[in-house]
Amino acid sequence: MRIIARVDVKNNHVIKGIHLEGLRQVGDPNELARRYYEAGIDEIVFIDAVASLYDRNNLFPIIRAATEDVFVPITVGGGIRSVEDVTAALNAGADKVAINTAAVRRPELVTEVARRFGSQCMIASVQAKRRADGWEVLVETGRERTGLRVIPWIKELEERGVGEILLTSVDQEGTRRGFDIDLIESVDSLVTIPVVASGGYGSTEHLSPLLRRTVPSGIAFASVLHYEMASPEDLRAAVQTALEGTS
């Protein structure tokens, strides 16, 4: 299972929030990326947290710099709106792009990207907020409601050819109070493509309850890494222990 660092960036600073709001600066994106790489991270996801303000992704210089000394898969997301944006992101050195809002606005984009570049380069980032009868899809970095329900939306994304799902629980994100296990299990059992769970990890105790129900392809960590509460190797060891305990 992949140990992934999720790095949200605003104005060239890494930020951290709760429920995708309430921002706090925690460091330089390239320095953090290098630190996590040297500490054994499996993969890094850079999200432009304010792409909607500028109507485009501004992280390509960070991506270019990252590829010089960080030799693990790199994903970039936030403001990826067109096939041209995907081309630019991949040329900057990203291995994958994460698409959220643009796919909701125009699902055909997903089909176009899959056809042009292949599914393996495209992650659908889905931000899920708990409602009475399931979960709702949010966009614009968790600020806007869509009325779409997560499960049917993810099924459509899979059918259109996304390669992976990056599933963020808006309710749990930044709280360090544990995962939304029902959400992760519902999605993981629904699709044949890999699912990366994001949002809520706070301590090693949170792992067994999740892994007993389902083992996602990866877990994206943010707070715990950025606040130096655990290293990538600590997290890998904790996951291994939890997996062995559930078998």
Partner 1 sequence: MSRRVLILDYGWGNMRSLDNAVQAAGAIADASRERSSFRMADALVVPGVGSFSHGMASLEAQELVGHIKEFAETGRPILGICLGMQLLFDKGTEFGETAGLGLIPGVVRRIPVDFSCQKLPHVGWTHVEGSHAADRSMFRGIPPEDRRFYFVHSYSAMDVAGQHIWGTVEYGALELVAAVSRENVWGTQFHPEKSGPAGLRVLKNFIDLC
Task: Tell me if 64 contacts partner 1 by CB under 8 A.
Answer: yes
CA distance to 135, 147, 148, 175, 202, per residue, from 186 (Å): 10, 19, 16, 21, 22
**Candidate ranges 6-14, 18-26, 34-42, 197-205; the one touching partner 1 (CB under 8 A):** 34-42
Q: Residue 35: name the closest of 14, 49, 58 by CA.
A: 14
Least distance from C-beta 188 to partner 1, angstroms? 9
Task: Tell me if 247 contacts partner 1 by CB under 8 A.
Answer: no
Task: Tell me if 29 contacts partner 1 by CB under 8 A.
Answer: no
Q: What is the CA radius of gyration of the chain?
A: 16
Torsion of CA 120, 123, 124, 125, to 10 degrees: 170
- Judged by CB under 8 A, the residue of 40, 107, 161, 202 near partner 1 is 40
- Judged by CB under 8 A, the residue of 58, 67, 111, 146 near partner 1 is 67
**Candidate ranges 22-30, 86-94, 138-146, 169-177; the one touching partner 1 (CB under 8 A):** 86-94
User: In this structure, how many other beta carbons lie within 10 angstroms of the beta carbon of residue 132?
Assistant: 4
User: Distance of alpha carbon 34 from its chain centroid, rounded?
Assistant: 19
Least distance from C-beta 42 to partner 1, angstroms? 5
**Residue 167 or 195 having the CB closest to partner 1:** 195
Task: Tell me if 37 contacts partner 1 by CB under 8 A.
Answer: yes
DSSP of 146-176, one letter per residue?
Answer: EEEEHHHHHHHHHHHT-SEEEEEETTTTTT-
Torsion of CA 182, 183, 185, 190, to 10 degrees: 130
Task: Tell me if 121 contacts partner 1 by CB under 8 A.
Answer: yes
Task: Tell me if 118 contacts partner 1 by CB under 8 A.
Answer: yes
**Residue 142 or 216 having the CB closest to partner 1:** 216
Task: Tell me if 193 contacts partner 1 by CB under 8 A.
Answer: yes
**Residue 164 or 180 having the CB closest to partner 1:** 164
Under rule CB under 8 A, which residues in 201-220 are in contact with partner 1?
217-218
Q: What are phi and psi of 164, to 5 degrees?
A: -150, 160
Least distance from C-beta 104 to partner 1, angstroms? 24
DSSP of 198-235, one letter per residue?
Answer: ES---SGGGHHHHHHH---SEEEE-HHHHTTSS-HHHH
- Contact residues for partner 1 (CB under 8 A)? 1-2, 37, 40, 42, 64, 67-69, 71-73, 90-95, 117-121, 163-164, 192-195, 217-218
